[in-house]
Structure 1
Amino acid sequence: MPTLTINGRDVDVGDEFLNLSPEQQNATVDEIAHSMGVGKSTQSDAPQHPVFDAARSFVQGFPLVGGFQPKIEAAADTGLSYLTGGATPEAGTLSGGIGERYHQALANISSDQQQFAQQHPALNTGAQVAGGIASTAPLASIAIPSRLAQASGALAAGGRIGLTGLEGAALGGTDAYARGDNVTQGAVMGAVGGAGGQALGEAISGGSSLVRALMRGSEGRAADRAASIVRQLGQSDALSPDSAEAELARLGPAATLADLGPNMQQAARAVASAPGSAQKQLVEALMNRQAQAGQRIEGAMDAAMGPRTNILDSADRISSSRSALASPWYDKAMPVPVADSPELQEIIKTPAFMSALAKANTLAGNEGRSLYSPTGNMGMHGPEIAPDVSKMTLQDLHYIQRAMQDNIGEIKTGAGFKDNEASRSVADVRRKLLGVMDDLSPEYATARGIYSDYSKVAQALADGQKVFSNATTPDMLQRTLAGLGESEKAAFTEGARQQVAQMMGTARNDANAAKALLDKGYNREKMALILGDDAAGGLNNAVDAERAFAATTQAARGGSMTDRNMLAQQIIPGDQKTPVLRSLLNLRFGDAALGAGERLASGAINARNERTRDAIARALLSRDATAFAPVAPTQNQIAPNIAAALIGATLPAERN
C-alpha cells in the first residue's frame, strides 16, 4: 500500500492511486490536504524554486515525452534518497522501501506541480506551450513527403493541409493517451493545430507569391509563363542546357532554340498560327534567315574548300608557269647535236620511231632542213635515203618524241585490247628515247622535269572536277590522293570546288543544291577524304543546319497539323472560347457559364495571351540554352513551421 507524505505526515492510500493520471493524483492529494484541515498540501519544508518548476513545465509541454516527466523525476528522486539518507531537494523526505519512496516522490512532485500552476498560472502555461513548440519544431522538416511539399496547385495545398491535420491528430491523441487524458479531445486539438497551421502558412506563402508576381508586372509575368512553356517543350525534345549549347554550336551562329527539336519547331508553328505581333516577329525573323541560306552555304564551302575560282584561268596559269620556267632550259638544250649510240640506233630501227620520224621531218622541213641523207643506193623510186643522226639536233629528237606522243593519243581513241597494247608499245619506245635525250643534255632533263611537274598539277586540276561523279568510288579516290603531292592535292581540291560550284550554279537554291550533293552516294565520305574530317565535318554541319532551319521555317509557315503541333497548341495559349449557346443546348451549364465568363474577360485574356506569345517568340528566336535548365524544386517552409508551432501550442494549452 503506497504511503504519501502530506504536510509532514505519512498518509496511506490505496493501490488504485497509482492508476490515476498525474492531474487526478494532484486532485486526490489536494482533497486529502483539505480533509486534514489544510488548504493545500506542501512538501515538508521544501523550498519553492519557480525557475526549476518552470523548467519542469517546459519539459511537460513536450508531446508524449512530457507525460512521462513526473515518473522519470520520481525515479531519480527515489534513487537520490538512498544517497542522502532519505532527503531530496525537491521531493522532501522519503522513507520506506523503494516502491514506497517512488510513490511518495511521485505524489509530492504532482502536488508541487499543482501548487506551481495555482501560484503562477501564466508562467506554467507559457512554459508548457514553449516546450510544445520547441519539441514539435523538428517535425516541420519531415512531416510532409518531399514530392508533395514541392508540388504546386490548390490540390497539392489541400493534400498538405489534410496530411498535416492527420499528423497533428495522431500526435495529439497519442499524447493524451500517454497522459491519461481524453484521447478524442487531444486528437481534435492536434488536428486543428496541424491543419490550421498548414492552411495559415499556405495562405501566407500564396500571398507572398502573389505580391511578387504583381511586382513583376504584366511583361514579367508573361516572361515567366513563356519560360515555363519553353521548358516543357524542351523536356519533350530531351533538351538540357548542355545538350542545347552543343547543338547550337554545331548548327552555327544563325541557329536559335526553335531549331533544336521537332517540338520546338512546332512551338514556332503554334505561335505563328495566331495573328498578332508574335506571328509577325517570328515569321519575319525566320524568313530573313532563310533568305541568307545561300550566303551561309557559300561561306561554308569557301571555308572548307577555298573560294570559288575560274578553272580556265587556273589552267592557263599553270600552263604559263610551266612554260615560263621550262623554256630557258629547253632553249639551252635544243641546239645540242645528237651523238650516235647503240641505244639510239636500236630505237631508230623501231616502227614507232620511223612512224614518228615522218612527222618530225615535216616540222624540220618547215625550217629548211631534212633529217634524212642519201645512202648511195638506188631504189625503185630513185636514190634511197635514211635517217642521218649526224644531221640531227636535240630539237629533232624532241619533235620525234612529240610525234610519238600524238601517235599514242591516236591509238587510245580506238577500242579493244590490241589498241591498248599498241599504245603501250609506242609509249615504251618513247620512254627509252627520252632517256637517251636526258643523257645527251642535262638541261633537257631539267626542263622536262619542270614541265612534267606542272603537267601533273594540271591533270590533278582536271581530275578534281570529276571526283563527285558516280564513277569515282571512295577507294579509287583514296588511291589517287595517296599519289599526289601538296601542289597537286591543292589543284585537285580546287577542281573539286569547281565541280561543286557548277552543280550549285544550276540550282535555284544553293542550300538545297549543297544538301543534294552531300546526300548523294558516297559524297560525304569523298569530302572527308579530300578535306579531312574536321573541315568536312564543319561543312556537313553547315548543311545540316540549313536543313534544320528550313524545317523550322516550314513548320512556322504552314504544313499539316501534327500531333506535336496539337500538343504545342494546348500548351501555348490561343484565342479559343467555350461556345455558350451550344453548351446551353447540350445542358452543359458549367461550360456555358465558363464561356460567358470568357467573353466578359476576353479583352484581358487576349492581351495576356498575346504578351505570352510575344515572350515565347522572343525565347524561340534566342540562343539562351539556360531556358532548359530544370527549375529547382521549391518547398513552402513557412506552412510546416506554423503547423508544427500550433500543434506544439494547442496541446499544452488544451491540457491547461
Structure 2
Amino acid sequence: MDWSAPQDPRTPKTSTSEAVLEGALTGAGAGWRDEVYGASKASGLPEWMGGFRAPFGAARLAAEHFSREPGEATKTYDEAVARIRERQRNAAEDHPIAYNASQIGGSFLPASKIVKGVGTGATLAGAVVRSAAAGGIIGGITGAGDANGDLTDRAIGAAEGAPVGVVLGGAAPVVGHAVGKGISAVMNREGTAGTAAGKVLNALERDGVTPANLQSRLDAIGPQAMIADVGPNAMQQAAVIAASPGAGQQTIRAAIEARNAGASGRVTNAVNGVMGGPVNYGQIESSIIQRRSNAARPLYDQAYQIPLPPIPEVQEVLNTPTGRAAAARAARLSRDEGIPFDPNSVRGVDLIKRTLDDVVSMGQRTGRNNEARIIANLRDRLVSAVDNQVPEYAMARDAYAGESAIRDALQAGRNLFSDSLSPQQIGDQLVGMTAGERDAFLQGARAQIQTIMGTARNDSSRVRQLLQKGFNQEKLEMVLGPQAANDLMRQVGFETTAANTSHRVIGNSETAARVAGREDLTPGSSGLGIRDSFAAGGMMGAARGVGLKLMDRAIEAVQTGRQRAIEGAMADILTLQGPDRQRAIDAVIRAAQQRDRSGTLARQVRNLASGAALSGSAPYDRPVGAAALDLIGAQ
C-alpha cells in the first residue's frame, strides 16, 4: 500500500474540443497527420492554403535532403512535426476517449476512399475478399504513417499494420451481414402469413417461377389452377402439408378433392362448348333427316319437274347387274307408293340412287367392304352424271342427305377416334360429305364422347386419355377447326395437370399420413421419466425431472403450434383458385419485396460494418502490430 498523500492530478493541456479535433485530423490523415502538417509548414506558403501546401513543402525537403545541406525547410519541418506529436500525446493523455473515438471517426475518410476503389462486393464472399484487401491497404498505410522513423522503420510499420487490416477487414462483412439480417428480420417481420409466403416463394424459385411471371404461368394452366400446380417443388410442399396433421392438411385435401369432383362437369362443358350439347343417338337420325327433308323438299320437287335428256353414263350404270337390280327394286317401291316409275327421269334416277345407298350401307355394316366400295363408285357415277345435267338436283341433295348417308355419317363420327382411322382417311371422308352429313358426323363424334363419359368410372380421365391419344387432336382440328379444337384441348390439358397434382399431393401422401397418424396414437417416450430421475437424484432429482419434462412439453407445444399455423397459411396460398387466387399471388409478391428490402438492409449494414472496421484497422499501438506479425510467424 502507498500511504503517501495523493498528488494533485495532472493539469490538462488540451480541451475536449481540441482533443476531438486533433483525433479527427489524425484519423483522416491515416497516420500521416504530423508529416503532412510539417511538410505544409516547410513549404513557406501562406497559412490559409492549409494542407494543399504539403506537396510544395515535400519538394523543398527533398531538394535539401539530396543536396546534403539541411536548411530552413528541414528545420521548420522538424519543429512542426515535434509540435504536432506533442499535441497528439497531450490530447490522448488528457481526453483518451474523445481523442480515440474521433480518431476512428476521422479514419472513415481514407477508409471510404479505399473501399470505394476496391469495391464492396455483391455477395458476402466477394465482400469478405474485397474488405480484407482494403483493410490490408489502409492498415499498411496507417502503420507506415504511425512509424516515426526512417524508411526501414516505416516499412516495418506497414508490415505490422497490413495483417491487422486484413483480419479486421475480412471479419467485418461477416459480422455486419449477420447483424443486418437480424435487424431486417425484426423490422420486416410479418408473422405467420409472411413466413408462409416466404416458404412458398422458396419453392417457386426452385421451380424457376418468379413473382413477375407467376400470374402468366397460372393463366397458361387454366382459371382453376393453383400455385401447387406450377412446379414439382410447390407440389411437394402441398404433399408434405397434406400428409401432416393439422388445419393445413384439411385445407389441401378439401381443395384438391373439390376440384377433382368438378372435373367431369368441366370436361362436359368444354365438349358442349365446341361440339354441342348431349345428344340422343337413337333420335338424332330422325331429327336430322326430318330437318333436312323439310329444307330440301321444295328443291327436290323443282328438280323432279326438269326433263332428263339421255345420258350415256346413266345408261352404262343401269346396264350393270347391280344397276338393273337397283332399278327393278326402285320400280317396285315406286309402284308400292302408287307413283309411276320412269328410270329416265330425275325422280327415277333418284330412287335408284337411294336404293344403291341402302346396298352400300348394308355392305359396310356387314363387313363386305369391297362390295360396298364398288357399288358406291357406281352410285357416284350415276349421281355425278345427273348433277352435270340438272344442277337443281345437286342442290336438293346437298340440302338433304338420304337416310343411309345420314346413318353412314353418324357411324363415321362415332368411329372418329378409332385407332384404325388415320387423319388422312378422316379428311377424305369429310371432303365427300354434304353439309347435312357433316352435321351428322359431328353429332356422332359427340355421342361417342357422351357414351364414354356415361359408362366410365372416372369419365373425365377416360375422355382425357381419348383426346390426347395418337392423332385424335389432329382429327379434332379437322372436324372442329383449329381454334375450337385448341380450346377443348386446353381444358383437357388443365385436367391432366390437375390430376397429376392430385396424385402427387393426396395420392402419394396416404402412406405418410397413416404413419403420422400412428405416431399420434402410439405411446412413445412422452412420459415424465420420474422413476429414472428419482433413481438418479432422489426426490429433488424427480422434481427436477418433472420440471424439465414439463418445460420441454411447453416449448414443443409452442413450436408445434406455430409450425402448424405456418402450414395452414401455406395451404391457403398453395390452393386458392379463381378470383381468390390473386390474394395468394399478392402474398408471394409481398414476400419477394420484403426479401429484397431485407437483403438491401443487410448489405448496407455489412458495408457500414466494413467501413467501421477498416477505419479502426490501423495498429495505433505498435505492440498490437508486432503481436499480429508474431501470430502469423513473421520476423
Smaller-chain TM-score range?
0.5 to 0.7
Which residue is 2:5 aligned to? Answer: none
How far residue 169 of structure 1 moved from its aligned partner, in angstroms, is 6.0
Which residue is 1:318 aligned to? Answer: 288
How far residue 246 of structure 1 moved from its aligned partner, in angstroms, is 3.6
**Aligned 1:157-172 pairs, distance under 5 A:** none
Quickly say closer, same or farther: Cα 1:637–1:428, change in 2 above 3 A. Answer: closer
Does 2:68 align with 1:109? Answer: no
What residue identity is the alignment partner of 1:517? L
Equivalences, count: 549
CA distance in 1, matches of 2:427, 2:290: 30
**Aligned 1:575-594 pairs, distance under 5 A:** none
Quickly say closer, same or farther: Cα 1:471–1:332, change in 2 above 3 A. Answer: same
Quickly say closer, same or farther: Cα 1:174–1:223, change in 2 above 3 A. Answer: farther
Aligned counterpart for 1:279 among listed residues 249, 261, 272 = 249
1:258 and 1:621 in contact (8 A); partners too: yes
CA distance in 2, matches of 1:422, 1:186: 106
What residue identity is the alignment partner of 2:210? S
Does 2:25 align with 1:58? Answer: yes
Quickly say closer, same or farther: Cα 1:231–1:109, change in 2 above 3 A. Answer: same
Which residue is 1:13 aligned to? Answer: none
Which residue is 1:618 aligned to? Answer: 572
Quickly say closer, same or farther: Cα 1:352–1:243, change in 2 above 3 A. Answer: same
Quickly say closer, same or farther: Cα 1:115–1:638, change in 2 above 3 A. Answer: same
Aligned counterpart for 2:416 among listed residues 458, 467, 474 = 467
What residue identity is the alignment partner of 1:269? A
Which residue is 1:247 aligned to? Answer: 217
Quickly say closer, same or farther: Cα 1:488–1:178, change in 2 above 3 A. Answer: farther
Does 2:283 align with 1:307? Answer: no
For structure 1, the residue ranges without an aligned partner over 5 or more in a row are 1-49, 81-88, 372-387, 567-575, 586-592
Quickly say closer, same or farther: Cα 1:105–1:298, change in 2 above 3 A. Answer: same
**Aligned 1:483-562 pairs, distance under 5 A:** 483=432, 489=438, 491-559=440-508
Percentage of identical aligned residues:
26
Quickly say closer, same or farther: Cα 1:406–1:640, change in 2 above 3 A. Answer: closer
Aligned counterpart for 2:611 among listed residues 634, 644, 647 = 644
Deviations 1:427-450 (A, max 9, x none): 488559847xx86x8866654554
Quickly say closer, same or farther: Cα 1:610–1:193, change in 2 above 3 A. Answer: same
2:274 and 2:488 in contact (8 A); partners too: yes
Quickly say closer, same or farther: Cα 1:191–1:474, change in 2 above 3 A. Answer: closer
Aligned counterpart for 2:111 among listed residues 117, 121, 136 = 136
Quickly say closer, same or farther: Cα 1:190–1:476, change in 2 above 3 A. Answer: closer
What residue identity is the alignment partner of 1:107? D
How far residue 256 of structure 1 moved from its aligned partner, in angstroms, is 0.9
Which residue is 1:28 aligned to? Answer: none
Which residue is 1:379 aligned to? Answer: none
Aligned counterpart for 2:556 among listed residues 602, 616, 621 = 602
Which TM-score applies when normalising by structure 2? 0.66
Aligned counterpart for 1:148 among listed residues 106, 111, 124 = 124
What residue identity is the alignment partner of 2:245? P
CA distance in 2, matches of 1:478, 1:445: 22
Which residue is 1:476 aligned to? Answer: 425
Quickly say closer, same or farther: Cα 1:234–1:598, change in 2 above 3 A. Answer: farther
1:408 and 1:427 in contact (8 A); partners too: no
How far residue 473 of structure 1 moved from its aligned partner, in angstroms, is 0.9
How far residue 511 of structure 1 moved from its aligned partner, in angstroms, is 1.8
What residue identity is the alignment partner of 1:110? V
How far residue 285 of structure 1 moved from its aligned partner, in angstroms, is 1.6
How far residue 481 of structure 1 moved from its aligned partner, in angstroms, is 3.9
Does 2:150 align with 1:176? Answer: no
1:457 and 1:488 in contact (8 A); partners too: yes
Which TM-score applies when normalising by structure 1? 0.64
1:190 and 1:650 in contact (8 A); partners too: yes
How far residue 292 of structure 1 moved from its aligned partner, in angstroms, is 1.0
CA distance in 2, matches of 1:559, 1:454: 53
Does 2:22 align with 1:73? Answer: no
Which residue is 1:263 aligned to? Answer: 233
Secondary structure, aligned partner of 2:208 = coil
- Please state which structure has a larger fraction of its residues in helix: 2
CA distance in 1, matches of 2:279, 2:406: 16
**Aligned 1:89-488 pairs, distance under 5 A:** 99-101=69-71, 102-113=73-84, 131-138=106-113, 145-148=121-124, 173-177=143-147, 183=157, 205=180, 208-209=183-184, 211-212=186-187, 216=189, 220-241=190-211, 244-331=214-301, 355-356=325-326, 358-360=328-330, 362-363=332-333, 366=336, 399=351, 402=354, 419=371, 423=375, 427=379, 430-431=382-383, 434=386, 447-448=396-397, 450-452=399-401, 459-483=408-432
For structure 2, the residue ranges without an aligned partner over 5 or more in a row are 1-16, 48-55, 516-523, 534-546, 623-635
CA distance in 1, matches of 2:367, 2:105: 111
What residue identity is the alignment partner of 1:63? A
1:58 and 1:130 in contact (8 A); partners too: no
1:149 and 1:636 in contact (8 A); partners too: no
CA distance in 2, matches of 1:559, 1:297: 25
Deviations 1:41-78 (A, max 9, x none): xxxxxxxxx99xx7998377421554652565367449
What residue identity is the alignment partner of 1:451? Y
Deviations 1:547-600 (A, max 9, x none): 33233333343526999xx9xxxxxxxxx999998xx99xxxxxxx99986434
Which residue is 1:375 aligned to? Answer: none
Quickly say closer, same or farther: Cα 1:129–1:356, change in 2 above 3 A. Answer: closer
CA distance in 2, matches of 1:115, 1:538: 90
How far residue 467 of structure 1 moved from its aligned partner, in angstroms, is 0.7
1:258 and 1:265 in contact (8 A); partners too: yes
What residue identity is the alignment partner of 1:505? G
How far residue 476 of structure 1 moved from its aligned partner, in angstroms, is 1.6
Quickly say closer, same or farther: Cα 1:341–1:297, change in 2 above 3 A. Answer: closer
How far residue 468 of structure 1 moved from its aligned partner, in angstroms, is 0.3
CA distance in 2, matches of 1:336, 1:124: 124
